[in-house]
Amino acid sequence: MEQLKQKIRSEGVVLSDRVLKVDAFLNHQIDPLLMKQIGEEFARRFRDEGITKIVTIEASGIAPAIMAGLELGVPVIFARKHQSLTMTDHLLTASVYSFTKQVESTIAISTNHLSADDRVLIIDDFLANGKAAKGLIAIIQQAGASIAGLGIVIEKSFQVGRQELEEAGFRVESLARVQSLRDGQVQFID
């Protein structure tokens, strides 16, 4: 997706050979037009998969997931990292480690929103080691739902996430595949 790559080149900041900061348009400040285009692209790639729900993780996956849900006409569920007073019973949970935040979180989705009848598309902002994706997969499998695939906004292809997910039999569609962040430069695969 060329618009996304251009945005990464112009507004992304390489903090190290493993960390890309995109808070100017994706995960702090959000570019609504870019999110609309991202949603359209995910919908184009997964339109024929019989998607009934989109699942993401709070907070950075919400914007692209909502736009994809709007395009596909399906509800969007986000796994919560922080339990609230209203979310206490009948939870599907998994433990997820965040490389960026260096913290382990328990994510949760209510059983009221996900069932064995659902065909789920997972959407997330980043794929690196695949920990968030694997946590979401575990929750979806607990519900007995099927997984159509994973839509990733930015993939760090030099890390193991994609390989492990594909080896487990999951379809992974990434809109921007980063080959390297060496020397402060973003290099893309495509």
Query: How sure is the predictor about 171, in pLDDT bands with cuts at 50, 70 and 90?
Result: very high
Residue 180's DSSP bridge partners are 187
9: number of CA atoms within 13 Å, CB side?
10
Give residue 3's identity as a one-letter amino acid code. Q
The confidence score (pLDDT) of residue 103 equals 80
The predicted model gives 84-93 an average pLDDT of: 69
How does the average pLDDT of the chain come out, rounded? 92
Q: Among the residues of the chain, which ranges form H helices? A: 2-11, 32-46, 62-72, 131-143, 161-167
Query: How sure is the predictor about 88, in pLDDT bands with cuts at 50, 70 and 90?
Result: low
Compute φ and ψ for 108, nearest 5 degrees.
-145, 145
Query: How sure is the predictor about 82, in pLDDT bands with cuts at 50, 70 and 90?
Result: low
Tens of pLDDT, residues 97-130: 776 677 888 889 999 999 999 999 999 999 999 9
pLDDT at 138 over 90: yes
Tens of pLDDT, residues 5-59: 999 999 999 999 999 999 989 988 999 999 999 999 999 999 999 999 999 998 8
The confidence score (pLDDT) of residue 84 equals 60
